[in-house]
Amino acid sequence: MGTTKNIPEGYKDEDREQQFYNLVEYLGFNKSYIITQPKHNINYYEPLKNKIIDKEFIRALKKINVKIENVSMIITHSFYGDERKHPHHIKLYEYFSKYTFDNNIPFGFFSIIKIPNINHKSILHSTYKFNNLHILSYDTVDDYVHIKNYPTYMIEFGNEINIKKKALKLYKSVDYNKHIKDYVSISCLAERLYFNK
């Protein structure tokens, strides 16, 4: 779960669980499960233990009725922990990067920034739009030895800010005004998905 600094008065971190399910219903996902359950007494500054992630990942697959051999790709947070260098996000990146590498499962991560110090070569000759999804760039990415399970492709996509803001408002236990004021990703028009297959 998140940091208590962003929880408005009258809510607690545990309230985010049901709000997460409200959010995925709004976004149209039919199968979802939160791996980091509040029952594990998560400390913001202490990364999750691998055995907890193992246990909850297996439970998540059972809950959404998916066998690991049917998983076509696992996508998680960035290796740098996203906008605020969140230690749990970094830990989930490290865990799933290794897990997918060891099990030969395609792997990807979201990034609000274009990863520096690697070469991006565009292979997209036009933009594409499908409903609310705008494909702005599709690049090949050179090997980058500092990223384990390195990406070979990057898709830059535009998003609908109004949908993003409405989704954030469904998380009543997250301080909406603080996020709007302090987080670039809330009002950012473009994001990126890096992946290796």
What confidence tens digit (pLDDT) does each residue in 24-39 have?
888 888 888 777 655 5
Q: How many domains is the chain partitioned into structurally?
A: 1
Higher per-residue confidence, 58 vs 161: 58
Q: pLDDT band for position 136 (50/70/90)?
A: very high
**Residue 84 domain boundaries:** 4-195
* Residue range 103-108: mean pLDDT, rounded: 96
Of the candidates 155, 160, 161, the one whose C-alpha atom is nearest the C-alpha of residue 127 is 155
Q: What is the pTM of this model?
A: 0.84
27-41, 47-61, 106-120, 175-189: which is most confident: 106-120
